[in-house]
Amino acid sequence: MLPQRYRLQKSWLIKKVNRRGRKFREYCVGLSVLKQKKPVESKFAFVVPLSVSKRAVDRNLLKRRASEVFLQRINDVSSGFDIVVRFGRGAADMSHDKLKKVIIKLLKKAGML
């Protein structure tokens, strides 16, 4: 699990990143990136809507897997950004390796790695 200092916790911040941030999409995973005003560590949020799975267990599994990918790459990710990862339909069926590849590809596309 990501340490608290790396998490976007306020819902209004997540909405702001989704509205104003640059968006990238790969397969059924979307990434929104917004530059912070103060250059501090990048912060992350993971959004898994009910349309992905009605079971909270499945949604939480996706969040944990994505958080693990970011935790392994936390030192490589550029600092000073707010990042929201949003999952779409079909994400619940992805294997851990496939999810890892998609997220890394999105980060490279966004210029974060």
Would you say 83 and 44 are in contact if contact means Cβ atoms under 8 Å apart? yes
| pTM of the entire predicted model | 0.90
How many separate domains does the chain show?
A: 1
pLDDT of residue 113: 85
Q: Which domain holds residue 101?
A: 4-110
- The set of residues, in sequence order, having a beta carbon less than 8 Å from that of 82 and lying 6+ positions away, is 8, 13, 16, 17, 21, 33, 34, 35, 36, 42, 43, 45
Q: Which CATH number do you get for residue 98? A: 3.30.230.10
**pLDDT for the residue numbered 49:** 95
Return per-residue pLDDT of the chain as tens, 113 residues: 888 999 998 999 999 999 999 999 998 999 999 999 888 899 999 999 999 999 999 999 999 999 999 999 888 998 999 999 999 998 999 999 999 999 999 999 999 88
